[in-house]
Structure 1
Amino acid sequence: MSAGTSRRDWVLHSYFPSKVERIEAYFTGHGYEPHRHDTYAIGRTLSGVQSFRYRGAMRHSLPGGALVLHPDELHDGMAGTDEGFRYRMLYVDPVLIQQALGGKALPFIAGGLSNDVRILRATDTFLQAMEHPVESLEEDDALHDLAHALEAAANSRRGRRAPDYQAAERARTYILDMNGASITMDALEQVSGRDRCGLSRDFRALFGTSPYRYVTMRRLDICRDLLLAGSSLADAAVCAGFYDQSHMTRHFVHAFGLSPARWLSLLKSR
């Protein structure tokens, strides 16, 4: 797919059925405000210089390497040159990584950039052009390969007590069943059979974020679906469990680096 001669920013989603979200995008200057989402963001710069602040330093992604941003790590995005930058990215739910690793702490790739050939090979399936569908079995194989590539390439944290995967998974399932409704830590303690401090620590290690942030992100998932279906910002916010549109917009920007209106306009501009 060609970016053409237009200098207008755009974001293109793959709408084939998939367990992961895949996008291709182009930005001429400033792309994203500082934000953090509860998925791995793994991608490649196709052209230009993709610059971003990550863990206290400015990083620069060039064509040929991979970006591997850990869940819940604050980052932004901008063009490193006047040329702008074009890239592909996939967003991988840590739950999919856990299905392959079986309850280990999530792999962490230092610095957010990698030239590890194992990661590059494992992402080939997902980082094809958006019009290329990924078959279900092909996707499952690719997720398995990606999980183990991340584990092999990560700087391991040795000596740490193994997290209680079953307890954390009970809490996560309860959150999903509540579908955006308010949840208390007391309820999560009861459902999981784990004290709140241990549960919070294990939840972060296994799923990349806190229980509260996980609830918030599921509400934002509902919002995005409703907005794409034509709901107003105000209606989507209330239906998803936020107090009002302002409350939802604040969390949307913190999670995605864009306002809901800007996000919708980019999807429509390509």
Structure 2
Amino acid sequence: MSTEGTGTDADGLARSCDADPSWMRFGPAAPGLERAEVRLRDCAFEPHRHDVYAIGVTTSGVQTFTYRGERRVCLPGQVHVLHPDETHDGAQGTDEGFGYRILYIAPELVRDALGRRPLPFVPDPVQDPSLTTGIVATLLADIDEPVDDLAAASLTAAVADCLLALSGAAAPRQAPIDVAAVEAVRRHLAERAPEHTSAATLEAIAGCDRWTLARQFRRTYGTSPDRYRVQRRLALARAAIAGGASLARAAADAGFADQSHLTRHFRRTYGFTPARWRDLQAPAVG
């Protein structure tokens, strides 16, 4: 197998893998963005390299890999950062195997999100859990989440800022928040929550690029534009369910991809599935 591949880790996976305890799955992708979840036991990656940043979090076991001439160890909760065109392999550090989730992001997206400044260089490929690396863990918590261009902009800005912080470079000076512009975006998202509003539409409303908007929106409202839209959709779905709508109809009318998409967000936000929440709202009999 060639070690010159520039795709994701599937390109460098040794063909001798035992298929039973090892698996790999990919979530919905977007241009320049791909996410995967991997579990390996009695299986190893051959030396290979990508043309993208690979940023992952170990979820179980002990992950080891050779990178820049040294053997590295990444434990559960730790984040690993692999730069474009850097050769690496991957293997289990114990008999139990290991698991991880990973994000592949094109360097041109990172550069655009950082205002065309040079790509950040992270000297230590293994990072301990921190507020900064926690951003990566949060972004990878649900790789099944669809990624439209609005979500992609928020994700890219967060990852670019994370890489910059881990590189030790000084963060760019934050421009004053254009309160009127950000409020106009918030109002648009609230009034049109079920719609698939594009990042380009919000750029036109705000008068700035999508990455600046994502940062200013978070500084103003404590969340991303995409997440704010999800919360408005959940409120619409709750009202529809309370009014007797089926779960599938409530999901569709609120703008979710399907009922399972609604269920994932509903459980994460309220601690119950929509069905359980509906049943708890039912009046007691007798």
Is residue 2:45 matched to residue 1:32? Answer: yes
Q: Which residue among 121, 142, 154 is the counterpart of 1:141?
A: 154
So what's the TM-score if we normalise by structure 2? 0.49
Distance 1:107 1:118 in 2: 18
**1:81 paired to 2:102:** no
- 1:64 is aligned to 2:77: yes
On the 8 A contact 1:41/1:68 being kept in 2, the answer is: yes
SS state of the match for residue 26, structure 1? strand
Matched, 1:129 2:142: yes
Which of 113, 125, 143 is equivalent to 1:100? 113
> CA offsets per residue over residues 203-235 of structure 1, 9 Å max, x none?
xxxxxxxxxxxxxxxxxxxxxxxxxxxxxxxxx
- Alpha-carbon distance between aligned partners in 1 of 2:100 and 2:29, rounded to the nearest angstrom: 19
**Structure 1 contact 122–142 (Cα < 8 Å) conserved:** no
- 2-side partners of 1:111 and 1:135: how far apart? 31
Q: Specify whether residues 148 and 17 from structure 1 end up closer, same or farther in structure 2 by C-alpha distance, changes over 3 A only.
A: closer
Please state if 1:46 is matched with 2:46.
Answer: no
SS of residue matched to 1:89:
strand
Which secondary structure state, in structure 1, belongs to the residue aligned with residue 46 of structure 2? strand
Distance of 2:34 and 2:156 partners within structure 1: 13
Name the CA distance, whole Å, in 2 between partners of 1:108 and 1:145.
16
The 1:116–1:101 alpha-carbon spacing in structure 2 relative to 1, beyond 3 Å, is farther
Q: Cα–Cα, structure 1 residues 153 and 130, in superposed 2: closer, same or farther, change >3 Å?
A: closer
Cα deviation, residue 27, structure 1: 0.8
Contact (CA 8 Å) 2:22, 2:43: kept in 1 or not?
no
Conservation of the 8 A alpha-carbon contact between 2:44 and 2:90 = yes
Which residue number corresponds to residue 183 of structure 1?
none
2:196 corresponds to which residue? none
Q: Tell which has more relative contact order, 1 or 2 (C-alpha 8 A, sep 6+).
A: 1
TM-score (norm 1): 0.52
Q: Which amino acid aligns with 1:127?
A: L
Q: 1:75 to 1:16 in 2, by over 3 A?
A: closer
Q: Report the Cα distance in structure 2 between the residues aligned to 1:89 and 1:96, rounded to whole angstroms.
A: 17
1:75, CA displacement in angstroms? Answer: 0.6
1:9 matched to which residue of 2? Answer: 22
- Identity of matched residues, %: 41
> 1:125: how far off?
4.6
What are the superposed Cα offsets for residues 151-199 of structure 1, whole Å, 9 maximum, x if unpaired? 1220449xxxxxxxxxxxxxxxxxxxxxxxxxxxxxxxxxxxxxxxxxx
The count of aligned residue pairs is 152
The letter for the 2-side match of 1:100 is A
CA deviations on 1:8-29 (whole Å, 9 max, x unpaired) are 2111011355641101011113
Mapped partners of 2:147, 2:30: distance in 1: 8
Q: Distance in 1 between matches of 2:100 and 2:119?
A: 25
- Partner of 1:201 in structure 2? none
After superposition, give the CA deviation of every residue in 1:240-267 in whole Å (9 maximum; x if it has no partner): xxxxxxxxxxxxxxxxxxxxxxxxxxxx
Query: Which SS does the other structure have where 1:64 is aligned?
Result: coil
Aligned to 2:33: 20
Q: Is the alpha carbon distance of 1:119 and 1:73 closer, same or farther for their aligned partners in structure 2, counting shifts above 3 Å?
A: farther
